[in-house]
Structure 1
């Protein structure tokens, strides 16, 4: 009897111990946690690979966009005249009309300079300056003025697009809102994007072409953001919101640089204006003394040389006080 009881007790104890080993020991030893950890790692590995692949794809797209930006900068050095006219806001002008206006200006200045006693050499110098220098200076002036107006209105336009996207409007409709209400030249540039997209070009490529008509880094930033979002997706409102912040920070930096360089610009203006002012004062006090400069061949030659050296000096000072960022 005692042996049977002991055998039953031993078997019961063994059964309970086996059940405890099966059900309780894995929890105490951490095998279940390790198994669940391995399962979670196995589940997250494909997702991690997908995220890494997406990040790599976006990185490659950004690198490609930067290479494209560098290529555009190289092309910008040899811009055709028709594109320069469009950048200056003279899209209705043709190169032929530009050359005709330049020739007329050169002829008028030659006749005026020759009539007032400047001589043949002085007339040719004035004709060259009026025919080749003045029209290109006007193109550069109009282009810079148009770019400043564009950069002034671009951050607000990007904010309008961000608010439209957050409100549920498609990107194309948000661009239409900007094209309807924005001031010039932003209005005409966004209308060009709409027209280009309407004829079948993808919206990303249409926005990327904005840099050709408005060659400023901010326009290229906008085109790159839209092009990358169209290719790989992502939170467009967040990307454009960051772009708006970058544009405003660049504007603040430009204004700060403008304020810090005003002293140098004032000094350059005074130095550049001293020779003609002194010449005018001498002519007002003793006209016979200085009139030899435009009444004799040697004096005319000296005036032409002085104008050339003064032009070189002004251009050097302008290069020294202009800052690219």
Structure 2
């Protein structure tokens, strides 16, 4: 670990000031990802700004009837919050599918969104990685890439975003509240994370001198018809090979609106609104779900070790939709 300086902020204004003033500064709260990366020299911030004293832990209703999650609310507190469990069970289930109880007790909601990829080569400083050191190449493309992206990747990076929570937030169309020297702004979750393109070192559209203050959920939580399906190599403490978050608005057995987000397949939670629209006005059935799954993986490209993800994603989407719509899994074969 490289030497660094440290300050503790007492309010949002001072935190933003410290981050803006100190070159190479990073914000630290739970530290469940940042500290690990500092220990192995993957990240080497010159200055840490501790924001754990900021009054950003509250979870409260908004005037519009939604819910505002404080940036420093822990993953555990969020998952088990009465309003989240009752109104946004998709989010609760997604959070509980990630990490361990100990980590969820420490990790914050904002930190969950900002965690870095778990690509093996990103963590190995002896290998080339454009995300860690731009311009050096992507070792994963011709290396062991079982956990890597099949959608939205580029010739510069095929890493995936590791968060379960972010996948649920994408399906819920959350909005991220941030504050910087220029004031406050709100970023739709769809625009918060980035695809790698030519700048894989940039994970999000959050400016270097901005901090997250809250995550806003709209009133629509899909509490009756939802699911979070996570395929992984072991039952716990493993990142998704493919995960699917589904929220359905239904009248009887007819779908009025569908939201689907995939995890483990791209550099950000993956949405395809055009594919979702195929379900509008349709009866919930395997027959109607299959074209949606096909559309979601259209254009997907696998590599030597992860091409299986394409079919896994297709099957997982159908299964998740059937679970959310309460359709008999044994109907129509498969």
Larger strand fraction of residues: 2
- TM-score with structure 1 setting the length: 0.21
Larger helix fraction of residues: 1
TM score, norm. by length of structure 2: 0.21
